[in-house]
Amino acid sequence: MSVFTIIEHDDGVVPAACLQALTIAGELAAGDTVEAVVFGPDPGLGSVLAANGVTTLHVVDHELVTDYSPEIYGESLAQLLKQAGPAGVVAAGTDRGNEIMAQAAARSRLPLATNCVAVTADPGAWTLTRARVGGLLLEDAELTASTKLVTVVPGPGDDVSASPGASGLLTQTFVPDLAADFVHSRLVERTERGSGVTLATARVVVSGGRGVGSSEGFAPLEELADLLGGAVGCSRVATSNGWRPHSDQVGQTGTKVSPELYIACGISGATQHWVGCMGAKTILAINTDPEAPMVTRATYAVTGDVHEVVPAVVAEIRRRADIRAGRRPALA
Ligand SMILES: Cc1cc2nc3c(=O)[nH]c(=O)nc-3n(C[C@H](O)[C@H](O)[C@H](O)COP(=O)(O)OP(=O)(O)OC[C@H]3O[C@@H](n4cnc5c(N)ncnc54)[C@H](O)[C@@H]3O)c2cc1C
């Protein structure tokens, strides 16, 4: 039986997390078809999906399927599953992926396993390893249902852009049955970031905690993030003190990040923070306390005052950039 996967995209850019889910769907299909679902008009994803083993693309099309709506997407998926009856659906464990799948599961009365880090197909069941308690506990479980629903924990990787052209993919339009008064929540405004990268997708995150001391103390962290093409994050102490907005918070009750490099400045590494950054490939801790949990768990650590270390790193990056550009480095 086929295995479905959900492809989220933002103007044709597919997040790496969806391609990771697609790979797992392919492994679970074990020779059967892998079929993708997109909501709204297909922005030309055929070539990308075909190159990743998808044979059929289900395009969910309805006048209510415009911008993101968890209820509409979830209900549409539930109806598609009822019609198509795949062995299962694998979606990325992103905010949207988890939300759509939870909606579809509740509406289809099917079980959903979220935050999976490994899934294998056995006769009659899928065997899962799930990250629980923010990733501190790994749970082995078995999922038995006519259609099994899982989301997988996103890892680091590159997003992929749609590329127009023939793909050989079978495209099927699915029109869900949705009444006009069905919508209870909908997206009313979309604010584009002027520039920069988002915390969730940044390859480098420079994060600050109590040790940064104030909102002004974040200026060197912003400078460092800018130089590295990254985003600024923070601990809950920084948001509770009003130094940073909650959207910058990393952790259990904030954003979970998985960058190539996470630089933790003046952050102790409490469990609730650690679960938000433990997916980073490399962690650099800058802390005055060599015994702080963030320091002992980090890949690299600098024992020192964040107010001295970060400006020194910024100055060194600028000095090297000057040399590379053939400029005379500024005197310290
Ligand atoms: C239900 C619940 C949910 C939570 N969710 C989150 C969450 O999502 N994210 C989160 O971050 N927290 C969360 N917390 C809070 C969490 O438990 C910690 O209190 C918080 O992470 C600590 O933030 P911190 O590391 O900035 O501060 P502290 O723990 O006070 O650590 C400050 C660190 O800075 C170092 N330091 C001090 N001065 C300097 C300096 N000048 N230079 C360098 N280092 C210095 C210190 O040595 C220390 O290690 C949650 C708590 C609860 C109960």
Instruction: Measure 226 CA to ligand 1 centroid, in angstroms.
Output: 23
Instruction: Measure 65 CA to ligand 1 centroid, in angstroms.
Output: 41
User: Does residue 50 share a domain with residue 178?
Assistant: yes
Domain CATH code at residue 274 = 3.40.50.1220
Cα separation, 35 vs 89, in Å, equals 9
Please state the separation of Cα 129 from the chain's center in Å: 19
Instruction: Measure 285 CA to ligand 1 centroid, in angstroms.
Output: 13
Number of domains in the chain: 2
For residue 31, the model assigns a pLDDT of 83
What's the sign of the alpha-carbon dihedral 57, 118, 153, 208?
negative
Q: Which residues constitute the domain of residue 14?
A: 3-182
For residue 318, the model assigns a pLDDT of 94
For residue 135, the model assigns a pLDDT of 66
For residue 207, the model assigns a pLDDT of 98
Cα separation, 62 vs 177, in Å, equals 8
**209 Cβ inside 6 Å of ligand 1:** yes
For residue 332, the model assigns a pLDDT of 55
User: Does residue 222 share a domain with residue 163?
Assistant: no
User: Does residue 43 share a domain with residue 100?
Assistant: yes
For residue 192, the model assigns a pLDDT of 65
User: Does residue 149 share a domain with residue 42?
Assistant: yes
User: Does residue 292 share a domain with residue 243?
Assistant: yes
User: Does residue 221 share a domain with residue 143?
Assistant: no
Burial of 332 (0-12, 13-18, 19+ CB in 10 A): exposed
For residue 189, the model assigns a pLDDT of 77
**217 Cβ inside 6 Å of ligand 1:** no
Full strand arrangement of the beta sheet holding 148-152: 137-143, 125-132, 112-122, 148-152, 88-92, 3-6, 34-39, 54-60, 170-174
Instruction: Measure 296 CA to ligand 1 centroid, in angstroms.
Output: 15
Q: Which of 182, 213, 229 is the endpoint of a domain?
A: 182
Report angle CA 199, 200, 206 to the nearest 5 degrees: 40
User: Does residue 108 share a domain with residue 62?
Assistant: yes
Kindly state the DSSP code that residue 26 receives in the 8-state scheme: H
User: Does residue 171 share a domain with residue 71?
Assistant: yes
Cα separation, 74 vs 62, in Å, equals 13
**289 Cβ inside 6 Å of ligand 1:** yes
Classify residue 213: in a domain, yes or no.
Answer: yes
Could you list the beta-strand ranges (E) of 177-319. 204-208, 231-234, 261-265, 282-287, 300-303
**Secondary element (H or E) of residue 92:** strand 88-92
Give the ranges where the chain is alpha helix by DSSP (H): 16-29, 46-51, 70-84, 95-108, 219-227, 236-240, 271-277, 293-297, 306-324
User: Does residue 209 share a domain with residue 178?
Assistant: no
pLDDT in tens, 186-229: 777 776 665 567 888 899 999 999 999 999 999 999 999 999 99
Provide the pairing of β-strand 160-161 with 13-14: antiparallel
Q: Which of 113, 148, 182 is the endpoint of a domain?
A: 182
For residue 88, the model assigns a pLDDT of 97
pLDDT in tens, 144-178: 999 999 999 887 667 777 776 666 789 999 999 99
Q: Which residues of the chain have pLDDT under 70?
A: 134-135, 156-157, 164-167, 191-196, 329-332
Residue located nearest, by CA, to atom 39 of ligand 1: 211
Domain CATH code at residue 49 = 3.40.50.620
User: Does residue 142 share a domain with residue 249?
Assistant: no
**268 Cβ inside 6 Å of ligand 1:** yes
For residue 310, the model assigns a pLDDT of 98
305: which 2 tokens?
A: 């005052």
For residue 134, the model assigns a pLDDT of 65
